[in-house]
Every structure is written in C-alpha cells, then in structure tokens.
Amino acid sequence: MATNQDAFRDYLQFEKNYSPHTVKAYGDDLTSFEVFNKTHFNEENIDQVNYNQIRSWIVSLIDTKISNVSVNRKVASLKAYYRFLLKTKQIEISPLLKHKALKTSKIIQIPFSEKEVDAVLHQVDHPTGFEETRNKLIIDLLYTTGIRRAELLGLKLVNINIPNKTIKVIGKRNKERIIPVLPIISTQLFQYLGERDSLDVIVDQDYFFLSKKGVKLNESFVYRLINSYFSTVSAKVKKSPHILRHTFATHLLNNGADLNSVKELLGHSSLASTQVYTHNSLSELKNVYKNAHPRGESDLKNK
C-alpha cells in the first residue's frame, strides 16, 4: 500500500523533476526523522507531529556536530514534505510554520586566478593517448562552459554537436540548455572522440566521458582530477570542479560579460543565484569605475 511518503517521492520526481539523487536525499531525511520520532516519542507516523518533536530532532542533529548548513538542509526536507501534505489536504497546518533556520556563516568561494588556470592548462597542453586527451578536455570544458560536475558526467554522445560548436546539457530538475563551445574546445571534442573510438571495450555506449575500461566516469574521479592538477599551482583550500565553475563566472564578469548572459550559461533559474559571483569581481569593477567616471581620474591624481 502506497504511503504519503511514497506519494511525496513521486511528486518530487515526476512533478518537480528532481534528480534521483535529490529525491533519495529527501527520503533519507524523512526516514531519519521517522526513526528518531519512533525512538524518542514512540510514534511511527510523522504526518501528525508537533514542533517540539521536530525541535528535539534538530537538537539531536546539532549534538552530532554536523554543520548548521546540513541541519537546515535536513529540516528543509521536512518542510517540503509538510508543504506537500498541505497541498494534498492531508494536514491543515505545517508544524514548521514558524520555524526559523539556524544561522550560518556565509562561505565565500575563492575562484582560481587567470594565472593559476593558465598554469594548469600549460601542464596539459600537449596530451597524448586517451586518458591525457580526456583529462585535458574535462578541465577545459569545465573552465570554458561553467557546467556542473554532474552535468559533465551526464553528457551523452547525442548531446555533442561538433559542427554547430554546441553541447546540450541536462541541468537541475532536468532542465535542458544549449551551451556554445569555443572553436578550440570543438577541436578537442573531435580529438577525444577519436581516442574514445579506439578503446578496446565500451560498456556505457551512450555516455561521452568514459574510463579506459569503457565505463562512465564517477563524481569522485572528476573531483580528484581537478584537485590534483590545481594543487600544483594553487594554495587555495578548496580546489574542486565547483570552484572551477565559480572561476568561469568570475572571469567572464571581470572581462565585461553581461550578468544575464552568465546566468543563462550557468543554467540558473534566477538572477539572484548568479549575483553571488559578483563579489569576486568587485575589485575589477572598482577599477572600471575609477577609469570610466569623469571624476575617477582626478580622484586617482589626489592619491
């Protein structure tokens, strides 16, 4: 017999178009609260609970020393579930109606400098063989398109249009977008395909990026790849595919790209999501402002 939680998962997957990974994460959070509720309040059904029960769960999560960001994410899963129950008229009021999220410190993601990116690209400038050609393309593609790691791994052969110099990316909530690629990247795509076709065995035929054994790459591989190369040129704490995405956006904005255009390239649903990158280009903006404004030159002379 289907439960409200089953219906909620179907709602997330088929109506909200959330990825299987996201649906599972929501389900795991509900199960976690369900187990807590049964253990501490001897109640199996989480559809009818009061805020005190949820608050006790939150306190228990904090006691495990996980971050406030993680706690807020888990509570957000509960919020979504109770909104669903409201929508389907299973409850009349959400127990989280007056809940306030825990305070979190804003983490500023520091992008790589152009010098650091150039240094890494210089390392992979003349690839030989399948793996080197693939690795160079992965680094270049992440930096020149700003696609997410999951989007890169989800690329299929049918998504690559070399004649048109475009790739089709399946983003969050299964939203599709077409991204132009630079001529140099188009050439690399063609070269990689030649190396890919020379593999002895191809297991995951549909997927574009493969291991030397012919299977689809996993997320940890791409993280290790980016971390490994950028660790040789950068002392920044975080060296990940996501930082390379930040770098893409920041470098575009620093060089005069329109914010709306960057938003479209990144696949953001709102401009607010893209504006988080503008803090990185504030110093560049100050220089442009001083050089362009009529009072800017006199201001510089007085210093």
Which position among 73, 172, 177, 238 bears the catalytic label? 172
Angle between helix 129-145 and 114-123 (nearest 10): 160
Establish whether 126 is a catalytic residue. Answer: no
Q: Is 79 a catalytic residue?
A: no
Residue 172 appears among annotated catalytic residues: yes
State the residue for tokens 């299973």: 90
- In three-state form (DSSP H/G/I as H, E/B as E, the rest C), the secondary structure along 183-244 is HHHHHHHHHHHHHHHCCCCCCCCCECCECCCCCECCHHHHHHHHHHHHHCCCCCCCCCHHHH
Q: Which of 26, 143, 192, 277 is catalytic?
A: 277
Residue in 148, 149, 251, 263 annotated catalytic: 148
Which residues, including other chains, have CB under 8 Å from residue 292's CB and lie 6 or more apart? none
289 is catalytic: no
Active-site entry in 134, 136, 245, 246: 245
Whole-angstrom distance, CA of residue 68 vs CA of residue 205: 42
pLDDT per residue, tens digit, the chain (303 aa), is 679 999 999 999 999 888 888 899 999 999 999 999 999 999 989 999 999 999 999 999 999 999 999 999 999 999 999 999 999 999 999 999 999 999 987 667 789 999 999 999 999 999 999 999 999 999 999 999 999 999 999 999 999 999 999 999 998 888 899 999 999 999 999 999 999 999 999 999 999 999 999 999 998 999 999 999 999 999 888 899 999 999 999 999 888 888 899 999 999 888 888 877 766 555 555 665 666 656 665 544 444
Catalytic residue list contains 277:
yes
Question: 27 vs 4, 8, 13, 84, CA distance in Å?
Answer: 12, 9, 12, 13
CA gyration radius, the chain: 24
Q: Which domains does the chain have, with CATH numbers?
A: 4-87 (1.10.150), 114-237 (1.10.443.10)
Spot the catalytic one: 79, 149, 196, 268: 268
Is 148 part of the annotated catalytic residue set? yes
Catalytic residue among 83, 216, 238, 242: 242
Interatomic CA distance for residues 216 and 171, integer angstroms: 18
Q: Which amino acid is at 39?
A: T
